């Protein structure tokens, strides 16, 4: 069931790039991110109270890590996510996100002393080249001449935020359930996003949101956050961050499959080459004997 949930999570997250691209086309990033996690927090609180019978107490030593989960993994990630999707295609963004397992593997090795074999190092190299191909649209030398756009850099920021979110939560799981961690981080993230959302004028323009906008927000909240985050953290608890992170590989596959018919995005040669390198590299990085 862990692996089935991870495959479905990848499908839901692939869909978030489509929904995010649609709603961010005419709505500001912090406002959309706040609505996503405000709605998600309501569902998560209700689910936590039903499953746990109460809102679990946290130890004083866990306060700072949980705050970091909300600030880095929720608030910062989603501002970068929705702002980046205003600037680049959903398929391109999803392939940059696909490098997350590489960073998770590297930091897992450094922090949790997980071994790095020659096969894993080769996979990391391939994925880095693939990411560079996608980010630079096939012109890797632009990376060293300032030719990379803000959109690509923002989505790369998402990669770093999600890596931190995956690793910070792991030491807390012996004491707190994945559902509890996601609930607390969502609440903190929504609170942090409220300030920039108000600065964008959300309280004045919320009535302007169309039915399609709200449908995207609800999808992002329920499928992309409540179900996706909880299932991913359950997998981290069960099989570890590096192996769970492998399934982020499937996110760009679903995103590209959905983006071509729904958004009419082009499939370029650099995108295909980058995708092949990233996916091959991540598979090698997470290959076990």
Structure confidence by residue, pLDDT tens digits, 243-265: 787 677 677 778 777 877 887 87
Residue 174's pLDDT band, with cuts at 50, 70 and 90, is: confident
- Name the residue ranges covered by the structural domains of the chain: 2-53+61-92+141-269
Residue 16 pLDDT more than 70? yes
Span 151-167, pLDDT tens digits: 889 999 999 998 999 89
The whole-chain average pLDDT of the chain stands at 85
Please tell me what DSSP assigns to residue 59.
-
Residue 80 pLDDT more than 90? yes
Residue 52's pLDDT band, with cuts at 50, 70 and 90, is: confident
By the 8 A CB rule, do 200 and 28 touch?
yes
Q: 125, 104, 98, 99: which is closest to 242 by C-alpha? A: 104
Residue 44 pLDDT more than 90? yes
Residue 144 pLDDT more than 60? no
Residue 124 pLDDT more than 70? yes
Alpha-carbon separation of residue 3 from 174, 219, 247, 264, 289 (angstroms): 21, 22, 9, 31, 18
Q: Which of the given ranges, 67-71, 121-125, 269-273, has the highest pLDDT on average?
A: 67-71
Whole-angstrom Cα distance, residue 80 to residue 152?
Answer: 10
Higher pLDDT, residue 258 or 193: 193
Question: What pLDDT does 171 receive?
Answer: 87
Residue 93 pLDDT more than 80? yes
Q: How many CB atoms lie within 10 A of CB 271?
A: 21
State the Rg of the chain over Cα: 18
pTM for this model (two decimals):
0.79
Question: What pLDDT does 115 receive?
Answer: 72
């Amino acid at each position: 069931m862990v692996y089935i949930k991870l495959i479905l999570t990848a499908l839901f997250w692939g869909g978030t790039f489509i929904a995010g691209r649609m709603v961010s086309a005419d709505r500001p990033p912090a406002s959309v991110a706040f609505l996503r996690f405000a709605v998600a927090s309501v569902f998560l609180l209700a689910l936590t109270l039903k499953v746990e019978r109460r809102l679990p107490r946290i130890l004083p030593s866990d306060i700072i890590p949980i705050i970091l989960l909300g600030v880095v993994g929720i608030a910062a990630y989603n501002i970068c996510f929705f702002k980046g999707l205003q600037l680049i295609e959903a398929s391109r963004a999803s392939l940059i996100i696909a490098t997350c397992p590489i960073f998770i593997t590297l930091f897992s090795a450094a922090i949790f002393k997980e071994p790095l074999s020659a096969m894993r190092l080769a996979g990391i190299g391939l994925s880095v080249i693939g990411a560079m191909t996608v980010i630079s649209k096939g012109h890797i030398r632009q990376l060293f001449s300032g030719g990379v756009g803000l959109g690509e850099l923002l989505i790369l920021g998402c990669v770093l935020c999600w890596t931190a979110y995956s690793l910070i939560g792991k030491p807390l799981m012996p004491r707190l359930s994945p559902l509890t961690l996601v609930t607390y981080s969502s609440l903190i993230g929504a609170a942090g996003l409220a300030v920039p959302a108000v600065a964008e004028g959300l309280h004045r323009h919320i009535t302007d949101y169309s039915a399609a906008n709200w449908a995207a927000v609800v999808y992002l909240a329920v499928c992309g956050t409540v179900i996706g985050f909880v299932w991913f953290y359950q997998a981290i608890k069960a099989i570890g961050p590096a192996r769970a992170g492998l399934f982020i590989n499937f996110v760009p596959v679903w995103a590209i499959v959905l983006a071509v018919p729904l958004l009419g995005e082009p499939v370029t040669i650099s995108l295909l080459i980058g995708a092949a390198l990233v996916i091959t590299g991540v598979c090698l990085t997470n290959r076990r004997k």
